[in-house]
């Protein structure tokens, strides 16, 4: 299932563990971040899983957007604890700085075990996560390829 939020795209993957692929395209506003967090929260439903975040086309993240993305208590919280892996794809240094601020706020939650990984390509992230492109993007959809 694909959900569009502004110019951004979220692919909800039925897998074990649950997986979500988020592709940012352009700037992220507070409203974008709130909507994306809501979709991911409902998909993971407190059970954890993998979130693949493609930031190759990410512009900037507004201050409101950073605050919304850092409010992960509702997204990752569960009564029995939650394990989540964040896989960032094609993050530039400026993205890593902004993302590290967001991640550091999330990582302090007592019942959340959060691991972050960085990959140079979508293919590498999918292979590491053991996800087929067909599972993430559907058999009728073209798999996004790295632009040269």
DSSP one-letter string for 10-68: EEEE--SS-EEEEEEEEEE-HHHHHHHHHHHHHHHTTS-EEEEEEEEEEEEE-HHHHHH
Q: Which tens digits make up the pLDDT trace of 64-78?
A: 988 888 775 555 555
Please provide the size of the chain in residues.
Answer: 148
Predicted local distance difference test score (pLDDT) of residue 109? 61
| H-helix or E-strand spanning residue 11 | strand 8-13
Q: Partners of 86 in the beta sheet? A: 51, 116
Q: Which of 28, 143, 17 is nearest to 85 (CA)?
A: 17
Q: Which tens digits make up the pLDDT trace of 78-97?
A: 545 567 788 999 998 888 88
């Amino acid at each position: 299932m694909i959900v569009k939020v502004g110019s951004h795209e979220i692919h909800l993957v039925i897998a074990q563990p649950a997986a979500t692929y988020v592709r940012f395209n352009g700037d992220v506003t507070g409203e974008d971040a709130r909507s994306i967090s809501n979709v991911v929260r409902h998909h993971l439903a407190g059970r954890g899983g993998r979130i693949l975040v493609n930031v190759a086309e990410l512009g900037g993240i507004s201050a409101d957007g950073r605050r919304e993305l850092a409010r992960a208590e509702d997204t990752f919280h569960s009564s029995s604890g939650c394990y989540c892996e964040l896989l960032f794809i094609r993050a530039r240094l400026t993205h890593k700085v902004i993302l590290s601020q967001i991640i550091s706020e999330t990582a302090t939650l007592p019942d959340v075990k959060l691991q972050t990984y960085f990959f140079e390509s979508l293919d590498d992230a999918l292979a590491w996560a053991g996800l087929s492109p067909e599972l993430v993007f559907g058999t009728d959809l073209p798999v996004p390829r790295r632009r040269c």
